[in-house]
Amino acid sequence: MENQLVTILRVSTPQLGSFVKDRLEEHGIEVFFTNEDMTPGDRYNPNEVLLNVKARQSEKAIARLLQLHKEYDLDKIKDDVSFTNLRKILVPVKLSEDCIDLCKYAIGLAKKQNAEIKILYIYPDPNFNEQNRHTTSWQRYVRLELKEAHEKAQENLVNFSKELKKQIPAELFNAVKLHYRMLKGTPVNVITAASKRYQPDVILMGSKVSKQADGEFVGKTLVKVIEETQQPVLAVPLSAVFKGKDLINVMYATDFYDSDNTSLNKLLKILEPFNKKIHCVHIDLKEDPQHQEKVDELNAMLDREYSNHHIKCELFESDNLVKGFEDFVAKRDIDIISLSKVKYSGFYKLFHFDLVSKLVANVNVPILIFPV
């Protein structure tokens, strides 16, 4: 009973869900967003979520919800700029022990950026690999499996919310807007579908394999999300700590794309709250005099169009691409690497699973990847 959740409202817009959640949590009522999806063959409806509270708080929550209906025109909440103008961070998790550190990092980042966080718990569909069967007895069995998986997922999410509150100081935890969302399915499909609806400023995911076999979404899942989503992805080593430094050093890796301006603008927007020094770097695998000419051209453009920012371009010679990143990070004390996801560019091969794995295994700093 302690971990059982009860649905009190169907929500059609993120703004309405955020508004009602804030008003309920002002009265000590913790809120969770889910999709029940108990019917075999049903698909996740991105235009509707269920607002849930703990069963023991349901009467108090319903009384507060009725009061909200009297005090506000809830149909107009979707136009409230206090919700639509917030920066947004999506954090997909499997609720392993590692993701506590990942959520701590997200909370530190959100506080710095004045952003809200959506912690997206993805639990497996127990019938994903089952062949379709249409007998009454089989469908009854499927419904029981779905119900059991859903109840177990609810229990896991409630327990995680308690643990997160234990490990994060109250003044930090309460300084950000944080939502829990629970969806069933395969990680890549759920993350990409959720990001289309939520439109986060960044998707934050763990980038190193956990000691646990069932650790956070890394490896192939991380790479597939990077390839398929249209939102920036921040891949964070699971041991990383958000330090909130006064000055951060950023390595922006360039292959002299035409899209450098677009990527720099996106990077500057995300890092707007930070005092930063951006090293625009081309890893030079072979001595090519034309590369220095391109660097000079890029520096001229940076001086002309980004004079208000501390950005300089340079060549960095190395006989190995990943080692070049590793050496530059160490030499310049880099806090974050930024890459553009440009198909068929010189850096496109970085998104091959083996090379991404090597990069995140050797370069122990967060990596921000932009779609352009």
Could you read off the pLDDT of 147-160 as tens digits, one per residue? 888 888 888 999 99
Point out the least confidently predicted range of 76-90, 290-304, 342-356: 342-356
Query: Which residue type does 295 have?
Result: V
pLDDT at 81 over 60: no
- pLDDT-derived band at 312 (thresholds 50, 70, 90) equals very high
Point out the least confidently predicted range of 26-40, 185-199, 318-332: 26-40
Nearest to 242 by CA among 161, 176, 188, 325: 176
Question: Which residue stretches of 125-203 are H helix?
Answer: 136-167, 170-173, 187-198
Q: Who has greater pLDDT, 7 or 126?
A: 7
Pairing state between β 202-206 and 115-123: unpaired
Nearest to 294 by CA among 307, 285, 304, 284: 284
User: What is the residue-averaged pLDDT of the chain?
Assistant: 82
Q: Which range has highest mean pLDDT (162-171, 200-209, 233-242)?
A: 162-171
What's the CA gap between 40 and 37, in Å, rounded? Answer: 8
SS3 assignment, position 309: coil
Which residues, including other chains, have CB under 8 Å from residue 26's CB and lie 6 or more apart? none
Could you read off the pLDDT of 347-360 as tens digits, one per residue? 555 555 566 667 77
What per-residue confidence (pLDDT) applies to 58? 92
What per-residue confidence (pLDDT) applies to 138? 64
Question: Which residue stretches of 26-135 are H helix?
Answer: 58-71, 81-84, 98-113
Are 47 and 13 contacting, i.e. CB atoms less than 8 angstroms apart?
no
What per-residue confidence (pLDDT) applies to 121? 93
- Entry pTM: 0.84
- pLDDT-derived band at 125 (thresholds 50, 70, 90) equals confident
